[in-house]
Structure 1
């Protein structure tokens, strides 16, 4: 299976490296600077205390000569428009696109450009970062990737991708209820981002305060209300896992968006993770005061960052 990965960042590089190691024909669509770094150093991934370094086949913009079987899309939500233009030459009649983006808003643009039948659903649970030297560091205890078809029928690429991942340490599985899986991840991520970004702390730090636990529970309830109104209330196992993760007094976890703020990032995924969820809730007549407060704070941050850039 010919696989094109857009970029070689933390998520795309991590999964692309594993797929290449399992025998997939993987190429990375990157900019010139990244291509030079990969040619010099290879694709370096540090995971579970071990370092892997392997050659990476790269393509530059305009260098796609024929469609691929699968395109793995791992950009940030605010880069989606440019990403669609970059991968368009690689998407033919038999190609499927697997986006690993947060939220659900990205499907509107991808479906409009490529057709819903060619756009899979994908959700990943992983903590990874890209170091300045290009090294990808995977620092969560594990990782989970869930994928599946969003429309009738299952493209052959779903099984082929699952088979490739089965030869790796990646915990990947296909799902016949991928929309439910996507809503469950969104609920967890939105509640966690709202909590840690608004309070500017880790879960453990927030739980050590007088009202932290009650605020976390209320934020989770707001997210659940929107999902339930859409017909995708989190199942008990998912709801329980989210509650454990966001109320653990010993946890040092914080949403990546909060870490981005701490590092001075000017662009955030606030609209994809919180804004869109709030707008959907409003369409169902739901009042979401805590999520709206977090979203407001993030909008203020974004406006200040834009004014000083």
Structure 2
């Protein structure tokens, strides 16, 4: 698990909660029919083209049900697969393979869907300096998984939560009495190494954010023409983020405005899971 950058304790916490939800007091069907000491082999196969993410998490699901698990992956996270490709072969307790199947697939399919979608967005800006960022529009409780999947698709993680980057939005600005006042209040209250981002919707607000010394300026729901002018005025004094209605068809034209990063909520908030199947191949 260490090689993924995921915290093992956090992963186990999420999986254990999922077990409580799905297994509860036990898999009454499998436990009634399958002998306790029976073993079996299974395969997971891609039923659509995409990018794989979540294999270490799926493995951990089965490991927690059978410590003698034999896990033989044919690909690794971040790899492209085609429909019909073998993803992994598994040998374990027959009960474990059936009890853990849906949970392992739920994680693997969702994360592979996120990685696959992210890879499409990343490909659109290939050859430019632009990076594709995720957002906080993730499934509650699964953020570390969702953001891990974005990385496996070639994307870049934005802030993890409300604690690791200060993002000043319109309501903050209103209550503070302006952008400069909002930035000053936050700057006084947070650690020096935490960056401050300011959301702007027009060139006047961009100018205020520049004068306030923002580390990142977000250009929110601006036209390409307005973003081009904003980038000129910012003139490399801070990082520039484009956000709002960033669908894949806009990416190349948005990248051409000179911005540095594009944040895309669609990477995680409405992902289509990658179709993956598990089949018992030997009893």
Q: Report the structure number with the largest CA radius of gyration.
A: 2
TM-score w.r.t. length of structure 2: 0.23
TM-score w.r.t. length of structure 1: 0.22
| Structure with bigger RCO (C-alpha 8 Å, 6+ apart) | 2
Query: Greater share of helix residues, 1 or 2?
Result: 1
